Structure 1
Amino acid sequence: MGLCSMASALFLLVGVVPLALAGGHDYGAALSKSILFFEAQRSGYLPGNQRVKWRGNSGLYDGKANGVDLVGGYYDAGDNVKFGLPMAFTVTMMSWSILEYGNQMGASGELGHAMDAVKWGTDYLIKAHPQPHVLYGEVGDGNTDHYCWQRPEDMTTSRYAYRVDQNNPGSDLAGETAAAMAAASIVFRHANPAYSRELLTHAGQLFDFADKYRGKYDSSITVAQKYYRSVSGYADELLWAAAWMYKATNNEYYLDYLGENGDALGGTGWAMTEFGWDVKYAGVQTLVAKFLMGGKAGNHAPVFGKYQEKAESFMCSCLGKSSQNVQKTPGASDPNLLTGAIVGGPDAYDNFADHRDNYEQTEPATYNNAPLLGVLSRLHGGHGGYNQLLPVEVRVAKPIAAQPKPNPVKETPFAAPVAIEQKPTTSWVANGKTYYRYSAIVTNKSGKTIKNLNLSVSKLYGPLWGLTKSPSGSYSFPTWVSSLPAGKSMEFVYIHAASPAQVSLSSYTLA
């Protein structure tokens, strides 16, 4: 899912602008399908009211090798591994969607299904937290799983479970799970009070664990690094968890935590243009801004004002009215139909290859769907006011002065028309060999459109995606690209157990 889509989801979740509804779109059907997708991602014993009938029970011995019951939860995407960090974020965002737009979900008949989807996740998260300072963050091994394409009902790969504890901390994982539990406790506060209290107890313990024993979870669960590396660290999750704990409890301790740690943990310093399973600052800033606008800042109003400034900057970036805007793109026969799945989407240059092995763009994931539940509910329900929870007028973001455009750098007459940059993006060991995934960016440095591009690729010892190989052995544009405009770039990737391949420009024409 692109950063624009995730950012737009947050933008609408906070309800700061009225919506102009476009006619002809069945947002109710889109909402229903988005929720149905989560039933297809279920792990464990499936209930009698399971609507995705081609799925069956799976992962029934998860945790057994570790002496703990870890049956249940969600598979994050197209594989059979259960990753704790994106799963917890999925639960947090589904819960936030319900809290903001539960009335619209109820009117569409989907509130019960949405709450079931949250509970399927939180039931598992409770199991994954058997002790105050123990949290299981992954079941299964991504390496062996990705080498064997199996249905979860038939999988034979390792189901070993990995955990964080006080000797092997994971503040980002524990913090996000605390946020998920706290947010879900509000969802179930009236419908299931006992369950709500249970969730809140776990959330409080997890927050204390995350804050007291600090460290990145992927330094403890190293097998997660190739799939869900915590690039942003854990500071954002500590603030994110504190914000949700305050929202769930009204306990001043968490409000003070946000006020006293906003600067040190980056909440007041980072102006964001992204929001997702790894980077939570924009979400923190939005929640704290709502506390401020609701008159709940107390003595921390000056600090909370800094949070609000960053939240407003993020909203402006979503609207394209900031000096740094959220990146946007124009947009773009299986035995089992995965209804409601949202795939990764186009790359930064709006290229999209609809191929099964292009998992980065074509693989759906739970954390893609979760933020959109509220958005689709709002679109389906129509415009019901600026903000459903706060009876205050939302402040208009301060206009940001346009930045002067830098003068273009003049190229010398003999400057190469095409720049090619390569870098390894990940690596793994299999059968005693270290394999590398390389990303190659081809950029048109000329002032004209390039057509009929041909590249020479030598010393390549593995598969390549994103280019078309000709009978002569040279490589040209992929089938979905016919030209490369001036200043634009395209990407191709390859995998082999060696140093970078030799890539050079063979021929081209300028249009």
Structure 2
Amino acid sequence: MTWRKDSALKDGFEIGVDLTGGYYDAGDNVKFNLPMSFSITMLAWSVIEFGDSMGSDQQHALEAIRWGTDYLMKATSIPNFIYVQVGEPYNDHNCWERPEDMDTARTPYAISKDFPGSEVAAEIAAALASSSIVFKRSNCTYSQELIRRAEMVFSFADKYRGFYNDTLYSWVCPFYCDYSGYQDELIWGAAWLYKATSKADYWDYVVKNASTLGNYNYNEFGWDNKNAGINVLVTRLNTCNSDLFIEKANKFACNLLPESPTRAVNYSAGGLMFKEGGSNMQHVTALSFLALVYSRYLEETDSVVACDGGVMADMNRFIKLAKGQVDYILGSNPMGLSYMVGYSGHYPQKIHHRASTLPSIDQHPCFIDCNGGKLYFNSSNPNANVLTGAVVGGPFKNDTYPDERVNFAQSEPTTYINAPLVGVLAFFKAHSSNYSRSFSN
């Protein structure tokens, strides 16, 4: 990405804190730590499950994870005080500026024991804990630093419970409001801490608090709702008292299958998963990832899941399900369009992404202000820079895709769309001879 240059090098400096680094979550220039942390957790889980299939690219995955964890370590360096966002979202969203040109306020926002935010703190703990596993072999010292911080942050999240919506409503909503509550993140964080440390207290916490998840929403998984992810993660923990979670993981798996009477996911005529909410590809990649991880559980336990209506599914059924989604993303769809930018010769040209839309500093060294960038946003020309590898929000339910920046739910890429796809692609890269292209759903 030679067209990208340094940006936001003074984040936090106005208050004497270094908050440089980290990720802008989508096509804007704000750092939202809730979706960012989830993306890092998913990158780490990708390496944990499928790192052996990544080959030389695993090093790049580790670099991507560390770019995020280094930032999260800075954001959590003060006990009982966590920075959870950098940038004023309304001002930022009203401008169409390159990150290198940003002149909107880079205000840091934080949670504390008096102004809690358990969901974002627990998700940060999950990101640090899962990443500690990833670095255990290559950098033991860093791994230990990550797990110590993860435990501290989780303790804070659990001790000072509260919704970060209540603390920062006008700054996090409607962008990344918490709709599912913070109980799922607390259990998610504890499960990752158990996987990272093997400390019984964390597993006891998971079991004790499982009832707070209820018997619904076990089909949901993403930056806001961790329910399905918790149940599938538990299948990888090899511990006792996991029957309830595995039972729900089985229900979740049945609810993914198009042929299942209990299906809770819609499919387009072209075969793409659809769930309610914007940026549908975030559901496609996250659920495909869980389907693959669940298939490993079925393989290792030599199990077959029995769904209602006499539907039986083995590991290969879930692998084929995920493969169908990957094929759709990469071009096996009614439009013949790759929803991964830069892949194949036919992909979205006008994505909703500021840095991609505007000319690079190399090509246009002069400053482009807030309103100056809108000329490029409104242009019918393709974006100036190819954001190679980014997956956009995806088509409408009728399998059509208008290549327009204004349709951000369709044309905006996000880190939490891409992160789960890393592990999925690694798996199919390593098993390409076993699973030929274009399996039907």
Q: Are 2:285 and 1:346 aligned?
A: no
Paired position in structure 2 for 1:165: 112
2:219–2:227 CA contact under 8 A, matched in 1: no
Deviation at 1:325, TM superposition (A): 2.2
In the alignment, the residues of structure 1 paired with residue 153 and residue 97 of structure 2 have an alpha-carbon distance, to the nearest angstrom, of 34
Secondary structure in structure 1 of the residue aligned to 2:155 = helix
Letter of the 1:376 partner, please give it.
Answer: L
Name which of 287, 293, 306 aligns with 2:233: 287
Q: Indicate the larger mover: 344-353 or 57-66.
A: 344-353
Paired position in structure 1 for 2:266: 327
In the alignment, the residues of structure 1 paired with residue 400 and residue 173 of structure 2 have an alpha-carbon distance, to the nearest angstrom, of 26
Paired position in structure 2 for 1:129: 76
In the alignment, the residues of structure 2 paired with residue 351 and residue 273 of structure 1 have an alpha-carbon distance, to the nearest angstrom, of 26
Paired position in structure 2 for 1:61: 10
Name which of 180, 183, 205 aligns with 1:257: 205
In the alignment, the residues of structure 1 paired with residue 261 and residue 16 of structure 2 have an alpha-carbon distance, to the nearest angstrom, of 52
Secondary structure in structure 2 of the residue aligned to 1:228 = coil
Name which of 71, 75, 98 aligns with 2:20: 71
In the alignment, the residues of structure 2 paired with residue 124 and residue 326 of structure 1 have an alpha-carbon distance, to the nearest angstrom, of 35
In the alignment, the residues of structure 2 paired with residue 335 and residue 378 of structure 1 have an alpha-carbon distance, to the nearest angstrom, of 32
Deviation at 1:316, TM superposition (A): 1.3
Letter of the 1:127 partner, please give it.
Answer: K
In the alignment, the residues of structure 2 paired with residue 233 and residue 65 of structure 1 have an alpha-carbon distance, to the nearest angstrom, of 32
Name which of 324, 331, 337 aligns with 2:386: 337
In the alignment, the residues of structure 2 paired with residue 133 and residue 256 of structure 1 have an alpha-carbon distance, to the nearest angstrom, of 24
Letter of the 1:305 partner, please give it.
Answer: D
Name which of 95, 102, 105 aligns with 1:148: 95
Deviation at 1:312, TM superposition (A): 0.8
2:256–2:263 CA contact under 8 A, matched in 1: no
In the alignment, the residues of structure 1 paired with residue 100 and residue 206 of structure 2 have an alpha-carbon distance, to the nearest angstrom, of 44
Q: Are 2:162 and 1:215 aligned?
A: yes
In the alignment, the residues of structure 2 paired with residue 243 and residue 99 of structure 1 have an alpha-carbon distance, to the nearest angstrom, of 15
Letter of the 1:232 partner, please give it.
Answer: S
Larger Rg: 1
In the alignment, the residues of structure 1 paired with residue 86 and residue 245 of structure 2 have an alpha-carbon distance, to the nearest angstrom, of 36
Secondary structure in structure 2 of the residue aligned to 1:371 = helix
Paired position in structure 1 for 2:85: 138
Secondary structure in structure 1 of the residue aligned to 2:174 = helix
Which is richer in strand? 1
Q: Are 2:181 and 1:233 aligned?
A: yes
Deviation at 1:324, TM superposition (A): 3.4
Secondary structure in structure 1 of the residue aligned to 2:413 = coil
2:223–2:416 CA contact under 8 A, matched in 1: yes
TM-score with structure 2 setting the length: 0.71
Paired position in structure 1 for 2:133: 186
Name which of 391, 397, 405 aligns with 1:356: 405
Paired position in structure 2 for 1:175: 122
Secondary structure in structure 2 of the residue aligned to 1:163 = strand
Deviation at 1:121, TM superposition (A): 0.4
Secondary structure in structure 2 of the residue aligned to 1:110 = helix
1:2-41 aligned at under 5 Å gives the runs: none
In the alignment, the residues of structure 2 paired with residue 75 and residue 168 of structure 1 have an alpha-carbon distance, to the nearest angstrom, of 24
1:274–1:326 CA contact under 8 A, matched in 2: no
Deviation at 1:371, TM superposition (A): 0.2
Letter of the 2:415 partner, please give it.
Answer: T
Deviation at 1:349, TM superposition (A): 5.1
> Residues 400-420 of structure 1: CA distance to partner in whole angstroms, max 9, x if unpaired?
xxxxxxxxxxxxxxxxxxxxx
Name which of 287, 312, 331 aligns with 2:250: 312
In the alignment, the residues of structure 1 paired with residue 120 and residue 3 of structure 2 have an alpha-carbon distance, to the nearest angstrom, of 32
Identity within the alignment, %: 47
Contiguous gaps of at least 5 residues in structure 1: 1-51, 386-511
1:285–1:308 CA contact under 8 A, matched in 2: yes
Letter of the 2:422 partner, please give it.
Answer: L
Q: Given the superposition, is the C-alpha separation of residues 278 and 68 from structure 1 closer, same or farther in structure 2, using an over 3 Å criterion?
A: same
Paired position in structure 2 for 1:119: 66
In the alignment, the residues of structure 2 paired with residue 84 and residue 352 of structure 1 have an alpha-carbon distance, to the nearest angstrom, of 30
Letter of the 1:252 partner, please give it.
Answer: A
Q: Given the superposition, is the C-alpha separation of residues 130 and 382 from structure 1 closer, same or farther in structure 2, using an over 3 Å criterion?
A: same
Q: Given the superposition, is the C-alpha separation of residues 81 and 184 from structure 1 closer, same or farther in structure 2, using an over 3 Å criterion?
A: same
Paired position in structure 2 for 1:92: 41
In the alignment, the residues of structure 2 paired with residue 219 and residue 328 of structure 1 have an alpha-carbon distance, to the nearest angstrom, of 36
Secondary structure in structure 1 of the residue aligned to 2:2 = coil
Deviation at 1:271, TM superposition (A): 4.7
Deviation at 1:72, TM superposition (A): 0.5
Secondary structure in structure 1 of the residue aligned to 2:173 = helix
Deviation at 1:55, TM superposition (A): 0.6
Deviation at 1:269, TM superposition (A): 2.0
Letter of the 2:426 partner, please give it.
Answer: S
In the alignment, the residues of structure 2 paired with residue 233 and residue 166 of structure 1 have an alpha-carbon distance, to the nearest angstrom, of 18
In the alignment, the residues of structure 2 paired with residue 192 and residue 348 of structure 1 have an alpha-carbon distance, to the nearest angstrom, of 45
> Residues 362-409 of structure 1: CA distance to partner in whole angstroms, max 9, x if unpaired?
000011000000100000001799xxxxxxxxxxxxxxxxxxxxxxxx
Name which of 236, 247, 257 aligns with 2:195: 247
Deviation at 1:270, TM superposition (A): 2.5
Deviation at 1:287, TM superposition (A): 1.5
In the alignment, the residues of structure 1 paired with residue 35 and residue 93 of structure 2 have an alpha-carbon distance, to the nearest angstrom, of 18
Secondary structure in structure 2 of the residue aligned to 1:137 = strand
In the alignment, the residues of structure 2 paired with residue 258 and residue 383 of structure 1 have an alpha-carbon distance, to the nearest angstrom, of 37
In the alignment, the residues of structure 2 paired with residue 149 and residue 91 of structure 1 have an alpha-carbon distance, to the nearest angstrom, of 26
Letter of the 1:138 partner, please give it.
Answer: Q
Paired position in structure 2 for 1:275: 221
Letter of the 1:377 partner, please give it.
Answer: A
Which is richer in helix? 2
Paired position in structure 2 for 1:496: none
Secondary structure in structure 2 of the residue aligned to 1:368 = helix
In the alignment, the residues of structure 2 paired with residue 261 and residue 274 of structure 1 have an alpha-carbon distance, to the nearest angstrom, of 18
